[in-house]
Amino acid sequence: MAILVTGGAGYIGSHTSVELLNADYELIILDNFSNSKKESLNRIRDITGKDFTFYEVDLLNREDLEKVFLDNQIDAVIHFAGLKAVGESVSIPLHYYHNNITGTIILCDVMQKYGVKNLVFSSSATVYGMPNSVPITEDFPLCSTNPYGRTKQMIEEIIRDIYVSDEKWSVALLRYFNPIGAHSSGLIGEDPNGIPNNLMPYITQVASGKLKELKVFGNDYPTNDGTGVRDYIHVVDLAIGHIRALEKIMSITGVEAYNLGTGKGYSVLEMVDTFEKVSGKTISYSIVGRRPGDISTCFANPSKAKEELNWVAKRGIKEMCEDSWRWQSTNPNGYEITIKETIRN
Ligand code: NAD
Ligand code: UFG
């Protein structure tokens, strides 16, 4: 079975590509490298010992995208390609709406034209906005609070409309909680541009000496230690969730949303403490004011994914911290051009 992965050079896409190859799927990846590096593709090959077809294509370029569908007999698409920085989406909303929404509309239109109606879509827990309670179930109201989140919410609605118009479509909308960690080989991981916005890459860069200290955004939330609580999920568990979702959509039609989280929440200080224990590094931090737009506590009820996809997250926070640290410490500059890459290209 041939699977097209959009955004496959990125953080979650590269880990999912590894799991697809390990499960013997035929893999086609497309990416425009707007937020990733070519070297991640070499690493996917190194980990799996398997090959795949790659296209440097921007989803906004319909002609180039059609070529991918003309060249290959695609059975399903896993759609990761999109921009994801919340703060940036507030500064350049039109760019986010165009890239994420127009990109998805073009993709779905081309899929429709070539009779490919099986889709796994990367949504986000951000669609729940500021939930009234936790744990969050899939039937909670959707009310994103920023342009990035609204692109996810709008795309979910667009996809539901497509299904209403043509019931042959089969789609899983996967709402990820907080993906962290890296492949246990240390060969692929998250490679943020510039100063990281998210907690785990920030912690690992403090540990490696690239950043001086972590700023903890608020210690006056109604949580155990006052710091924000999130549902961190290992990126490999998340990747495996995509394989389960793919198996599901190949057997039925319809549109279903699934929370992919562990169901457990950890505070910022608990994450710092666990990271220090597994890495043997001290993470200097100071408490600063709350980050605008942050919520106190967010964790999933992942029962629907367990019951309908036969999926549960297996890796705990110790393993998440260990794998994040292995990736950062062995690739201090992420995928930045290495001699190895220069030789291969
Ligand atoms: P990422 O930036 O590492 O990967 C996204 C990939 O898509 C990149 O390789 C980028 O170059 C590519 N891309 C972007 N626009 C494109 C376009 N128009 N054409 C072709 N390629 C394009 O991000 P990630 O963390 O792997 O996230 C993957 C998906 O999951 C995104 O849609 C993101 O919004 C969603 N998501 C991520 C998180 C998270 O915390 N990482 C949480 C929830 C949802
Ligand atoms: N935090 C700090 N200092 C930092 C970074 C984060 O204290 O330097 C705290 C935050 O205040 C929050 C927790 O660490 O309490 C996690 O913050 P992240 O930025 O790592 O994650 P968020 O939950 O804020 O947001 C992430 C993604 C969003 C996505 C959301 C839900 O960035 O894109 O998870 O999936 F929408």
The 10s digit of each residue's pLDDT in 331-341 is 999 998 654 54
Arithmetic mean of pLDDT, 310-330: 98
Q: Cα torsion at 113, 114, 115, 117 (round to 10°)? A: -90
Atom of ligand 2 nearest to the CA of 216: 7
Q: Whose CA is nearest to atom 15 of ligand 1?
A: 82
Q: Is 88 in the pocket of ligand 1 (CB under 6 A)?
A: no
Identify the nearest ligand to the CA of 205 by its number: 2
pLDDT tens digits for range 127-142: 999 999 999 999 999 9
Atom of ligand 2 nearest to the CA of 271: 14
- Going from the C-alpha of 281 to that of each of 273, 315, 321, 344, the distances in angstroms are 10, 22, 12, 34
pLDDT tens digits for range 3-22: 999 999 999 999 999 999 99
pLDDT at res. 279:
98
Atom of ligand 2 nearest to the CA of 290: 11
Residue with structure tokens 């394989």?
243
pLDDT at res. 186:
98
- pLDDT grade for 345, boundaries at 50, 70 and 90: very low
- Nearest of 306, 342, 317 to residue 138 by alpha carbon: 306
- pLDDT grade for 169, boundaries at 50, 70 and 90: very high
CA of 212 to the centre of ligand 1 (A): 28
pLDDT at 45 over 90: yes
Inter-residue contact 34 to 102 (CB < 8 Å): no
Q: Domain segments of the chain: what residues?
A: 2-344
- pLDDT grade for 343, boundaries at 50, 70 and 90: very low
Atom of ligand 1 nearest to the CA of 58: 19
Identify the nearest ligand to the CA of 12 by its number: 1
Arithmetic mean of pLDDT, 23-33: 98
- Nearest of 230, 235, 242 to residue 174 by alpha carbon: 242
Mean pLDDT of the residues in the chain:
97
Arithmetic mean of pLDDT, 300-304: 98
Reported as type and span, the H/E element at residue 165 is helix 147-165
- Nearest of 145, 128, 141 to residue 90 by alpha carbon: 145
Inter-residue contact 275 to 283 (CB < 8 Å): yes
Could you please report the per-residue DSSP string of 212-238?
Answer: S-EEEE-S-SSSSSSS-EE-EEEHHHH
% of residues, the chain, pLDDT over 90: 97
Q: Is 36 in the pocket of ligand 1 (CB under 6 A)?
A: yes
Inter-residue contact 263 to 301 (CB < 8 Å): yes
Q: Is 331 in the pocket of ligand 2 (CB under 6 A)?
A: no
Arithmetic mean of pLDDT, 149-164: 98
Residues sharing a CB contact under 8 Å with residue 189, sequence separation 6 or more, in sequence order: 11, 181, 182, 183, 323, 324, 327, 328, 331, 334
pLDDT at 28 over 80: yes
Question: Hey, which of 217, 271, 284, 321 would you mutate to test ligand 2's pocket, going by the most ligand atoms within 8 Å of its Cβ?
Answer: 217
C-alpha 256: how far from chain center: 18
Arithmetic mean of pLDDT, 26-52: 98
Q: Is 198 in the pocket of ligand 2 (CB under 6 A)?
A: yes
Inter-residue contact 44 to 14 (CB < 8 Å): yes
Arithmetic mean of pLDDT, 20-31: 98
pLDDT tens digits for range 200-229: 999 999 999 999 999 999 999 999 999 999
Question: Hey, which of 30, 35, 96 would you mutate to test ligand 1's pocket, going by the most ligand atoms within 8 Å of its Cβ?
Answer: 35
Determine if the peptide bond prior to 135 is cis (ω within 30°): yes
Which CATH superfamily is 2-344 part of? NAD(P)-binding Rossmann-like Domain (3.40.50.720)
Measured CA to CA, the distance from residue 259 to residue 278 in angstroms comes to: 28
Measured CA to CA, the distance from residue 126 to residue 140 in angstroms comes to: 12
Measured CA to CA, the distance from residue 107 to residue 65 in angstroms comes to: 8
- Of 31-35, 79-83, 333-337, the range with the lowest mean pLDDT is 333-337
Q: Whose CA is nearest to atom 25 of ligand 1?
A: 11
Q: Is 53 in the pocket of ligand 2 (CB under 6 A)?
A: no
Active site residues: 148
Question: Hey, which of 150, 152, 294 would you mutate to test ligand 2's pocket, going by the most ligand atoms within 8 Å of its Cβ?
Answer: 294
Q: Is 244 in the pocket of ligand 2 (CB under 6 A)?
A: no
Inter-residue contact 199 to 266 (CB < 8 Å): no
pLDDT at res. 337:
61
pLDDT tens digits for range 252-289: 999 999 999 999 999 999 999 999 999 999 999 999 99
